[in-house]
Structure 1
């Protein structure tokens, strides 16, 4: 537990690999950690169904984590889904757009997520907001950039007269290092939990069980997760989680 653990944190928990790793990261640092999920009509909303099992699994891994894990919250953002004509909110083929961004980009999503999270944190007396935004493996999403997050932190602090701190522990690491981070935080049991219980597939398919987890295996999210897994285990067989 580091000296940053002075007050509580709110973690944006989608039910995917990145947010689950971020929740473990927060539980390792802060004395009280609550979670928040958003239902915006996402095509892969099966990820939301994974959240209770992930919270239970993380609590079971470490008694200290169990003591720190607080309430779970869920917010419906139907308006975001209604406004968004994307491959994450419509049953359409995943492809690149003419502007170079993938059509999985939901405009304003992370800006809204963090704004609503700050409003909830304000009410709950939580100072730290933790999200899985990443500029290394981010498909070009502009609302995942470090500059965007820093600018939003300034705006939230000014607009709410608070001193929130926005944490993005995955910002400068790739998927292989995200797997390594999970291993450092919770050993093989946490890696197994991420493999077996999280959901990342954009198509919302639990599908077959691959070495890296469930999913269609062909969408950009599955390909990125699988490539990260290969980089993780390529360091040696000792890096792969043992069965059991």
Structure 2
């Protein structure tokens, strides 16, 4: 049985503005399409935090350009893109995402790709920007179905953060996570549902997921090393999605 997110009635979002945390990866691109289908205006926000896969910052601009060119129904809604320098996070994080280290599990049961506080910091800055830009909705690609066990991706964490942000800003701030309870295969299905095969083709060709920043090898699911946890998850989800279509 499918667990794809149910459509929100269009009238419920009439006039609302959303800010999408947009890295240039598969999940955030799907979330961006999801937001463009639902909200009157959408802006995007990326972060430079000294990530090892810095190439994603180049990919995100390509994805935005391709979305505008290929989906004219979304182009008028897609507003300003923002990029924040959070290099301080990389300076205090000794992880496999912010330094040249082998990817492995740690004694605490978490992979060393976990950047402590990353999503908490991202969403706090996003809420601050949203407040200034007149947006009342934050959209993120966090998921606790197919993920690496990151505690800041859990639904309870984000529900608590939504309350804290709304209280701290003294204004309602809605945090939407459309991928929270779906698998990676269902994420591929959702993007096809939103934008047809053209959106999945865009995701394959232009988005970036690989933790190592490898974009020389082209697979059926996109570019990457094919061996890191991010590549393995994306590849497995794509294979399951394609199998389900046959």
Identify whether the pair has TM-score above 0.5, normalized to the shorter chain: yes
Spell out, residue by residue over 1:93-113, the C-alpha distance to the aligned partner (whole angstroms, 9 max, x if none).
000001110000000000000
Which residue number in structure 1 is paired with residue 242 of structure 2? Answer: 233
Residue 3 of structure 1: which of 8, 11, 25 is its match?
A: 11
Q: Distance in 1 between matches of 2:102 and 2:12?
A: 43
Residue 114 of structure 1: which of 110, 123, 126 is its match?
A: 123
Residue 198 of structure 1: which of 198, 207, 212 is its match?
A: 207
Q: Distance in 1 between matches of 2:214 and 2:11?
A: 41
Normalization by structure 1: what TM-score?
A: 0.95
Residue 13 of structure 1: which of 16, 22, 27 is its match?
A: 22
Residue 134 of structure 1: which of 133, 139, 143 is its match?
A: 143
How far did 1:62 drift?
Answer: 2.3
SS of the residue 1:63 aligns to: coil
How far did 1:56 drift?
Answer: 1.4
SS of the residue 1:70 aligns to: strand
Spell out, residue by residue over 1:179-219, the C-alpha distance to the aligned partner (whole angstroms, 9 max, x if none).
00000000000000000000000001112100000000000
Contact 1:9 1:33 in 2 (8 A): yes
1:75 has 2:84 as partner: yes
Contact 1:61 1:186 in 2 (8 A): no
Spell out, residue by residue over 1:107-134, the C-alpha distance to the aligned partner (whole angstroms, 9 max, x if none).
0000000000000000000000000000
How many pairs were matched up? 237
1:31 has 2:23 as partner: no
SS of the residue 1:143 aligns to: helix
Residue 154 of structure 2: which of 131, 145, 153 is its match?
A: 145
Which residue number in structure 2 is paired with residue 177 of structure 1? Answer: 186
Normalization by structure 2: what TM-score?
A: 0.95
Contact 1:19 1:131 in 2 (8 A): yes
Which residue number in structure 2 is paired with residue 159 of structure 1? Answer: 168
Gap runs ≥5 in structure 2: 1-8
How far did 1:78 drift?
Answer: 1.1
How far did 1:60 drift?
Answer: 2.2
RMSD: 0.9
Q: Distance in 2 between matches of 1:67 and 1:51?
A: 18
1:43 has 2:48 as partner: no
How far did 1:64 drift?
Answer: 2.1
